[in-house]
Amino acid sequence: MFANILGCQALLLLFVLLISCFFLTNGRYRYLYILYKTWRRDLRGLSKVFPAMYRIAKCEKNQETIPKLFTKIAKSRPHKVAFYFEDETWTFGQIEDYSNKIANYFISLGYEKGDTVALLLENRPEYAAIWIGLSKIGVVTALINTNLVSKPLQHCISVAKVRALIFGSDFASAVKEIYPESGEIKLYHFKTSPSAESRNGVLDIKECISNQSVASPQKHMDMSNTKDKLLYIYTSGTTGLPKAAKITHARFNFAVTGINYFLSLGENDNFYNPLPLYHATGGMLTVGQTLIFGVTMTLRRKFSASNFWTDCNKYNCTVANYIGETCRYILAAHKGKPTITHGVKKMFGNGLKKDVWKDFVETFNIPELFEFYGSTEGNTNLINLDNTIGSVGFLPFYLGPIFSICLIKCDDETKEPLRDANGLCIRCKDNEPGILIGKIYKKISTHNFDGYVDQKETNKKILQDVFQKGDSYFNSGDMMVQDEFGYLYFRDRTGDTYRWKGENVATTEVELVVSDVIGPKDIVVYGVEIAVASFVLALIWIFARGRRYRLFYIIYKTWRREVLGMWRGAKTILTVLIRENRKITIPKLFQKTVRRKGNKIAFYFENEQWTFNKVDEYSNKVANYFLCLGYKKGDSVALLLENRPEYAAIWLGLAKIGVITALININLVSKSLLHCISIVNAKSIIFGSDFVNAITDIESELGATMLLQLNTSPVEMMRNALDFQKCISECPTTVALRSGDMSDTILYIFTSGTTGLPKAAKITNSKYSFSAAGIYNMVGITEDDIYYSPLPLYHATAGMMSLGLCILYGVPLALRKKFSASAFWNDCIKYNCTVTNYIGETCRYILAAHRGQTNIQHKVRKMWGNGLKRNVWKEFVETFHISNIYEGYGSTEGNVNIINVDGTLGAVGFIPLIISKFSPLRIVKYNEEHNEPIRDENGFCIECKDGEPGLMVGRIHKALALSKFEGYVDQKETTKKLFRNVFKKGDMYFNTGDLMVKDEFNYLYFSDRIGDTFRWKGENVATAEVEYIASEILGPVDLVVYGVEVPNTEGKAGMLAAVGKENLMDTKKLATGFKSHLPTYAIPLFVRLLEKMPLTSTFKVQKTVLQKQGFDINSIKDPLFIFDSTTVDYVPLVNVYDDVISGNRKL
């Protein structure tokens, strides 16, 4: 799944690189220039880091050890080639079988978890199969350097406390020298030539395993965890004889995953590996690509410069590794020869010098070269992603103070860290050489230092009290220089080690051998620099032409917004991705909340308090009742109920068994209500007592739909309805959750969209989860908050985002049956609420109800919602002292979701500057007269410039849960919301139906609603619905409904324009008809009688012309009327026009 998500969602995770701006202060424009020069590099780096870290965390969470990961790979592709070696071909299935034989053989000998076996063998497929087999039973393999002899070899074997040694024929004499008798440890000869013979007491490993079972030792594999030791890889570090570095499963996975993601390797790659398998580069970073990612590998017994390209072509290799010296050897071997054609696209390694680097890339046409830095045992890992010659990697300059890797000053002679007056180390400045160190976090595998078998040697590599008392850092022993762009360059090696021919040479080891030869004399061994093999790197300065200073200013002005928004956005995305991957549906998330907070308050409602346990038990009763009725996954139930705790409990219970709940707008009556129930094929309706009349009116048309009445007030039961409370009263309070998927629909929430009757938007587990997580993180809500929600639960704002905070995060929710401006602050005070939501109109109503009351003592610190106008916004905040207003934008069904995180007046959100060109959100030019996007000569849409209003659209990625458009129950309505071929052939975008304007700071401002929808009194009004009712009343006449602006109000009021004569219009009939069939907010406020309907040349109604004319009696000669709610009639507008304009008439 994650591979599919990476393409789009990684961009959202990358926003954290805007933390750079933390270091921008007035006048420091150099930092802005550096950011401008390095943002692509940092963007690319972080796009690799986050997915890699996610995969690593997932493996550790699931305790997926290296043998488990390999077994999974082998089972999924048993016949795919794992290794090419000389004339042999080894499939994954063969490696799996061979490793199982190894495992079962050593099980038969009583080997246990924690035992050690040494492996001294040249490169070949069996090398990996042997240690994988041993790891399956928890046995650690010590990978011995094949160049060692005598005492260093004996030291490496003895320090690991091995029980057995497996060696190849080429090393038989070296083994015999240190183990003339086989009694000390068990010796196994791996014969690599037919003529090789084994001496007495030495067993033939091939014969030993020949009759062993190929069955997987699953029981033993399950006993290991990711923190267990997997291998010992020997490194000289910076002091002493070779040290056995402990390689855990977690460390191996981290190293391999890092290379895989940074190089973007795929299963179709073929990796050429001539480097020794006892080294971390060849044996861990490279072979690991085969073992845990399924990448085919070509092995060579020993590196050969002259055969390098021959081998790559023979096996069609696409990737290869190197160390600096090998590149020099390859260049020398092919100097002056004809151009070599090969398929290698990427190479990675370390130690490549600047002059060799450029010559190598140009000579052999290597598209991508990745120089990296790291040590076998350390936690300081870097990589160069952009081919900056000489650099071993980079650290974003703005992460310096918080990054775990840094450079510290050291004494030029002793190479010991310098410390200040407080005894703490001193960070290096740009271009100042220092020791590279990495902070140790013992609980984080990627930052831990597992150390060596020898604890004393481990302690030598740890620096204590570096920047504060008690901290610990790994000392890499390497001198580095960092330039102002964050690039790091290798400078020198400290201590008693130098590097020669790709190997670390420990002088103490050489001194020991020399002493044995020449006797007890004063000696010293050290490394000297040869000009041709020098590691001293030149510092590169890059200057740009055409600097965009205005862009720097914009970044400077918006960095706080970017940091806050992107950090919270990254948390949201990560949360949703984890839930997606683990298929944690809404019912499962609710169960987690219940386990954590069962006895805590979930809902405050009037004088009631519902705990999470109570909600859970009620929902289980609901689930069990409908199970008894035979309801199954995919069935639907309509819910017509006012705000109350049972509302959430009912649909949660239905969701637990896979039944979809249709949340019906409680204002609907007559045909609109019937339409909503019918379109979702509801098998039953659960309705509150307040809606008995509405259900009764349509009962005859409901057919066999079951009626379940929840008595919420003392009224008589409807004749053909069942008492819902009685029905569930005897049902069990526990239920087993049905299996579900994140793509399953759990709710239908009705939205007018931009056309037609109410449409049932499909709300999946993914969409609900994302909506709630977005508000939780973007608004910065915590479990300690108490949330006041007076908005209707059938709307997405309250029913998804607000209610989601309660059921998914455990935030207590104070519910009100119906919004009341006068009771708003009383409720907030009563329940000690700290957060609440709004729509623009509610804020205006609250202001009007509390005009002049500036000392209301409440605890509300945050409010979020949408539709808040600039003038109301400012007055509301100042009047009621609200610390933070979060104005957002989104639609129930859409994939365009933005939010204003910094309180910029009037803005509904922003698009991060750094991803403007990559963002899935676009504003395109729109022809309001013809109600369609404007396209260029190629048929593609045209993006608006800053300050230019246009239609907001959101790109649809069907494979990405967060960018999908689930659509409606009615597929035809879904199709109407799609734009195709927007910016290229085949792409698809969601049409929001809203006009937006973006300024140069990338703030977005709502401009208008297009199409056949307008907003009035906090509700979306679909004109097609109103037109349908009007036609039923007036008969077959030309008519159109649209919204018009009214001074001193939010939104637009409905206006009906119909062809007819004043003396023939029955205004009373029209008014009463609307009253009977439409919710109050949908009744047209104005009526205009036309002599002729204005049409375009294509016979489309010129609605925009009528909208622009509005209801101005001074310019319109046609008869105009206004709805009078007191008399339920349309009366002449001229009589009250001045009161309407001045705001003195209640509308």
Which pLDDT does position 1102 carry in this prediction? 76
CATH, range 381-518: 2.30.38.10
Q: How far apart are CA 233 and CA 285, in angstroms?
A: 12
- % of the chain residues with pLDDT over 90: 58
Mean pLDDT of the 658-686 span: 94
pLDDT band at 679 (very low <50, low <70, confident <90, very high): very high
- % of the chain residues with pLDDT over 70: 89
- CB of 314 closer than 8 Å to CB of 274: no
- The amino acid at 1126: T
- CB of 461 closer than 8 Å to CB of 415: no
Which pLDDT does position 540 carry in this prediction? 26
Residue 147: CB atoms within 10 A of its CB come to 11
Mean pLDDT of the 1061-1071 span: 87
Residue 501 φ/ψ region, left for φ over 0, alpha for ψ in the -120 to 50 degree band, beta for the rest: left
pLDDT band at 339 (very low <50, low <70, confident <90, very high): confident
**Per-residue pLDDT tens digits for 1076-1104:** 889 999 999 999 999 888 864 434 577 87
* 91 membership: H or E segment, kind and range: strand 88-91
What is the rounded average pLDDT for all residues in the chain? Answer: 86
Which pLDDT does position 514 carry in this prediction? 54
**Per-residue pLDDT tens digits for 527-565:** 555 433 332 222 222 223 334 556 777 887 888 888 888
User: Residue 219 to residues 68, 76, 776: CA-CA distances in angstroms?
Assistant: 12, 20, 42
Which pLDDT does position 17 carry in this prediction? 42
Identify the burial level of 949 via C-beta atoms within 10 angstroms of its C-beta, where 0-12 means exposed, 13-18 middle and 19 or more buried: middle
583-818 has which fold? Rossmann fold (3.40.50)
- CB of 95 closer than 8 Å to CB of 127: no
- The amino acid at 766: S
Residue with tokens 């040290």: 243
Residue with tokens 């046609």: 1118
Structure-block tokens of residue 1136? 């009250």
pLDDT greater than 60 at residue 347: yes
CATH, range 1013-1142: 3.30.300.30
Report the range of poorest mean pLDDT among 503-517, 595-609, 692-706: 503-517
Q: How far apart are CA 393 and CA 371, in angstroms?
A: 7
Identify the burial level of 344 via C-beta atoms within 10 angstroms of its C-beta, where 0-12 means exposed, 13-18 middle and 19 or more buried: buried
pLDDT band at 667 (very low <50, low <70, confident <90, very high): confident
Structure-block tokens of residue 419? 């410390």
Q: How far apart are CA 703 and CA 614, in angstroms?
A: 34
Q: Is 1119 helix (H, G, I), strand (E, B) or coil?
A: coil
pLDDT band at 254 (very low <50, low <70, confident <90, very high): very high
Q: How far apart are CA 1017 and CA 149, in angstroms?
A: 87
Which pLDDT does position 856 carry in this prediction? 87
In Å, the largest CA–CA distance within the chain is 127
Which pLDDT does position 953 carry in this prediction? 94
Mean pLDDT of the 932-957 span: 92
pLDDT greater than 80 at residue 604: yes
Q: How far apart are CA 42 and CA 393, in angstroms?
A: 11
The residue count of the chain comes to 1147
pTM equals 0.52
Which pLDDT does position 413 carry in this prediction? 67
Q: How far apart are CA 910 and CA 931, in angstroms?
A: 25
Which pLDDT does position 26 carry in this prediction? 38
pLDDT greater than 50 at residue 624: yes
Identify the burial level of 1029 via C-beta atoms within 10 angstroms of its C-beta, where 0-12 means exposed, 13-18 middle and 19 or more buried: buried
Return the higher-pLDDT residue of 195 and 132. Answer: 132
Q: How far apart are CA 108 and CA 97, in angstroms?
A: 17
DSSP secondary structure code for residue 737 in this structure: P
pLDDT band at 10 (very low <50, low <70, confident <90, very high): very low
Which pLDDT does position 528 carry in this prediction? 53
Supply the DSSP string of 325-357, one letter for each residue. HHHHHHHHHTTTPPPPP----EEEEE---HHHH
- CB of 1140 closer than 8 Å to CB of 1147: yes
Structure-block tokens of residue 643? 């705000």
Closest CA to 101 of 141, 129, 138: 129
Which pLDDT does position 535 carry in this prediction? 28
Query: Looking at 236-364, which runs of residues are DSSP E strands?
Result: 243-248, 270-273, 296-299, 319-323, 346-350
Q: How far apart are CA 48 and CA 258, in angstroms?
A: 8
pLDDT band at 578 (very low <50, low <70, confident <90, very high): confident
What is the assigned CATH class of domain 910-1008?
mainly beta
Tell me if the domain spanning 63-302 has CATH number 3.90.1150.10: no
**Per-residue pLDDT tens digits for 1127-1147:** 999 999 999 999 999 888 888
Q: Which value, to the nearest 10 degrees, does the dihedral of the CA atoms of residues 894, 898, 899, 901 take?
A: 160
Q: How far apart are CA 755 and CA 762, in angstroms?
A: 17
Report the range of poorest mean pLDDT among 307-311, 995-999, 1032-1036: 1032-1036
Give the dihedral sign, CA 154/158/160/166: positive
Which pLDDT does position 495 carry in this prediction? 57
**Per-residue pLDDT tens digits for 353-412:** 887 899 999 999 999 999 999 888 889 999 999 989 999 999 987 777 678 899 999 886
Identify which of 10-24, 858-872, 1027-1041 has the greatest average pLDDT. 858-872
Which pLDDT does position 23 carry in this prediction? 40
